[in-house]
A and B are shown apart, each in its own frame.
Chain A
Amino acid sequence: MIKAEKLRARYPDTWPTNYKLGMWIWVFHRVTGLFILGYLLFHLIEVMLSHFGPDIFDKFFGWGYTWWMQSLDLLLMAVLLFHSMNGLRVILFDLGIGIRKHKIVFASVMLLGLATYCFLANDILPYVIGRELF
């Protein structure tokens, strides 16, 4: 069996423990993209329920404000915000903005995403924990 250290020496650029910040962001951008693809298909199936009539449609969407559906919404919002804010960073780089200060740009867009997430979580969390936040 080939030892991990040998593999690491042979493939230094693609070995995960050698990844720097930009590489991890690249990985997470793709992982979150695939997650969003899964959600898009799930969302289409939700809409498909309209073919089974108002009763089944309303029963399913009636679960929308249960704690577990709202927990999934929290996860979805985190994924969507990471993907969109990092996408904003990618577009900024393509326009030549902030390439030399990429860590600061990344921190800035993530802070913007975090602020939006706090705003959304303020609406969602009461349904998850079953009471008003403050």
Chain B
Amino acid sequence: MNGKDLNRVVPRPTSRQGMLGWLLQRLSATIIFAIGVTHIVVIHYTTPGEPITFAESIQRLENPLFVVLWLLLLGVALYHVLYGVRNIIVDFVTVANKRTLTQALFGIGIVIFGAGVFFLVPLVIGKPLFSN
């Protein structure tokens, strides 16, 4: 059996076969776990017993590392969540065109990520965007 025949027996991980999605779902889960634990520890365990305040948040986000980490968390979590939603839809509904479904969910993800970036702007620049 040469290499060409072997490919027919052991499929390569391509997105068409869903292997790439499967792999990315595991990778994203690991990233979410790592950054999620950091998120909870940094926000809730540095000042325990004290509510989160605007002043404290803008002070923390002066460090660009946290801005990057929180946005990375949002992006990866959105990928993971929407891929999960896609899995549930594909399991329960016979989807004629899976590519359209994937594109629609991708669009929704982009919109939510854009909203998340926009919502974070006041905490990064240190004041509400539309204040007098």
Name A's B-contacting residues (CB within 8 A): 30, 33-34, 36-37, 40-41, 44, 47-48, 50-54, 57-58, 61-65, 80, 84, 87, 90-91, 94, 123
Contacts and interface: CB of A to CB of B under 8 A. Distances in A.
Nearest to B23: A94
A51 B130 contact: yes
Interface residues of B, number: 32
Contacts of A47: 116, 119-120, 123
Contacts of A33: 81, 84, 88
B130 A57 contact: no
Q: Does more than half of chain A's interface fall in helix, strand or loop, or is it mixed?
A: helix
Interface string B29-65: 1100100100000000000110111110100000000
Given A37-B81, A123-B48, A61 B53 contact: yes
B89 to A, nearest CB: 11
B84 A54 contact: no
Given A51-B121, A53-B131, A64-B51, 19 more contacts: A30-B88, A33-B81, A34-B85, A36-B81, A37-B84, A40-B78, A44-B119, A47-B119, A50-B54, A50-B57, A51-B119, A51-B130, A52-B128, A57-B54, A61-B53, A65-B49, A87-B33, A90-B26, A91-B26
